Chain A
């Protein structure tokens, strides 16, 4: 636990903890109802009453950011889960079976990686309909390719380990070898990579909600908040900059913590 002595790591951990609280129990942190508009308090600058100011409909921006965490972070988490699960299964099969199966699967993976992630997500969202779940599926599939490659390389390494051959000569069947020996030993780098992927996923999800592919308004997704503030950039730049800064800080925190977890273990 030497990590806990590094200030950057601790700060990152605190930010992530706040973000998690915000997504699970936003009422603990929010000061206002995120959907209530007060007609007299439109486009106010940050103040003690409205920490981040108010938007064009007189809604408290701070509370909207807090309530937006649930949608943005849960989409991103789901995306990582989709990416890891799909990628790991594909990579596991590809590496373990080998031969022609491996060749065919990996060519598909090459194609998947060749298509830019956001474009791929757009295609998925466009064909499945807008919303946080299809968004997560799209972003997750975009990441699955690289997970499949990492998993496959791990499987190839472990498949040639002596304990795998030993298991075979002990009479263990192939599926059992895969589950009991290959998977546990291959998991660590994939998990480390998943933690790093979380930051990228938050960015991708925010980018897509910025473009309007997320939940329909008035849902306060982070990307959508940045987009809504665009019209007032000249007079109230805070409306775009503050949610943008929140995204930035959370992504930095996630990456900092993920790097320590992946690197130190």
Chain B
């Protein structure tokens, strides 16, 4: 790699709290040693936030672990130096390191649900660090813990300190972890994806809190994140990692406004928070649409009559008398209500209205998106619309036919026309099946073609989702997340549906892969005249794909309209808050 200027070069050397020089880290695996970090150098100036940005597998988490010498098993630092306040941490004894970790270097872990001891009160967990490093006595530590909880923005810190982690929300738990990291007034805090598991509005508040702590305590922070937009908003300096190397580093403004490296350019382009347009179909997709006669995949697989009335035991007369063959709205949902009984501690129960009088329509051939944070009822709504779950009341009508109470064979026939793509491409594909069998499964279920014909169609479908047909005999475990999601999309297309319900289809994927999948969806929509019901928590993603948007919170639709109206002229306070919480706005 070419010699790179590190961004600390222009500042005085003693102003750098951390200096990393030519760091190499590798993991020992069964098939030999694998280099995870290959010769990176960077500095962290005092009181500044340095973001390390990269996708999964780029080596960014390994780097953050190496900085405090807490690598996962099998990992080792092969060469290079890590100087913290002028002392090399590399050859330091485990004992000396312990006094630095938690004391002078704080660490904020990624997953707040796993990183706190579930059997210990949160106040005690903060106090533990204080007693260990600052040698405070029990009462002083307890009082200090309450003060810290107040400082990280927990309301009613006295009471919170006596609670257990499961009694706090994800955002509050992350605040507690931030409190622990800052408890002993460290010079440096390493935050590994501190907000990735949180909702956007919560993410914003937590990051604001970190900003404030940095300013007040003049702490330096190494912020590891996959989200370039978060880095853009919060960091003073950015280092972009790919394949174990830092491909570009500099001040945030430099890197984002004038990226020089190819990879950074790609990353900047694909960050959903930074892009602000709806994706348009690519040229090849438009060409293919004109070629194929009806713009339809495998027209022969669909029966001539609407599937709902095919075997008719549970079929219901057409809703509102609309022409069943060509209703303008592919899906109409009205007044859906779904409640869950929650058991309360100490007996009794409470009714949670997960979906509370929700109505919307999905026009044929367009994308209707529901956006909301966790617990908003968006997924439950989608599951009811896809007839996976059932509602307490309200109706779902598909192509003018009421399908609310279909069951058995009639419901199965509906699957020919409505398909679902799930959030987690690692969970929704049977690990024991070959890709070809997975994609051909719906064809087999509906007895389309013979074995060789189905294999042929599976290969064709693979090409439609831009995967090589040579993957047909592989197992899902051999594919990457993006490839798996393409397989899931190919599977949902196999039977030639009209509506596809997409439940957070890109949330589990890296940003650059996200954009590719979204582009694929947009292309396929034009090619095959599909309608989408799209569910996401991420307005940045929603913005790239939607024609209509509904914003949900606490089971209710707060606001609905065309994508343009909702995005540019939000009516509801909460929508405005969501829009403001999209990271990456300060940089644009």
Contacts and interface: CB of A to CB of B under 8 A. Distances in A.
Interface of A: 161-163, 165-173, 176, 180-181, 184-185
**Residue in A163, A166, A168, A170 whose Cβ sees the most chain B Cβ within 10 Å:** A170
Nearest to B446: A171
B445 A173 contact: yes
A171 B442 contact: yes
5 contacts: A165-B388, A167-B441, A170-B419, A170-B442, A185-B432
A170 B432 contact: no
Contacts of A163: 427-431
Interface in B410-457: 412-413, 415-416, 419-420, 422, 424, 427-433, 441-442, 444-446
Nearest to B427: A162
B432 A169 contact: no
Interface of B: 386, 388, 412-413, 415-416, 419-420, 422, 424, 427-433, 441-442, 444-446, 488, 491-492, 495
A176 B446 CA distance: 12
Contacts of B424: 162
A170 B445 contact: yes
A171 B428 contact: no
A89 B481 CA distance: 35
A183 to B, nearest CB: 10
Nearest to B411: A171
A167 B491 CA distance: 10
In the A-B complex, the 6 residue pairs with the smallest Cβ-Cβ separation, listed nearest first, are A171-B415, A162-B427, A170-B442, A172-B445, A163-B430, A169-B420
Nearest to A165: B388
A172 B420 contact: no
A185 B428 CA distance: 14
B386 A169 contact: yes
Contacts of B488: 166
Given A162-B422, A162-B424, A176-B445, A169 B388 contact: yes
Contacts of A184: 430, 432
Contacts of B416: 171
Contacts of B419: 169-170
A170 B427 contact: no
Contacts of A172: 441-442, 444-445
B587 to A, nearest CB: 36
A185 B476 CA distance: 14
B389 to A, nearest CB: 10
Given A169-B386, A173-B445, A184-B432, A161 B427 contact: yes
B315 to A, nearest CB: 16
A166 B442 CA distance: 10
Contacts of A168: 388
Contacts of A185: 430-432
Nearest to B442: A170
Contacts of A166: 420, 422, 428-429, 488
B445 A171 contact: yes
A76 B427 CA distance: 39
B415 A170 contact: yes
A220 to B, nearest CB: 44
A152 B74 CA distance: 37
A43 to B, nearest CB: 57
A169 B415 contact: yes
Contacts of A181: 430, 432
A162 B421 CA distance: 11
Contacts of B420: 166, 169
Contacts of A176: 444-445
B458 to A, nearest CB: 13
A154 to B, nearest CB: 13
Given A169-B419, A180-B433, 19 more contacts: A162-B427, A163-B428, A163-B429, A163-B430, A165-B388, A166-B422, A166-B488, A167-B430, A170-B415, A170-B419, A170-B442, A171-B442, A171-B495, A172-B444, A180-B441, A181-B432, A184-B432, A185-B430, A185-B431
Given A169-B420, A171-B495, A162 B428 contact: yes
Nearest to A172: B445
Contacts of A165: 388
Nearest to B437: A180
Contact of A170 (B413, B433, B441): B441
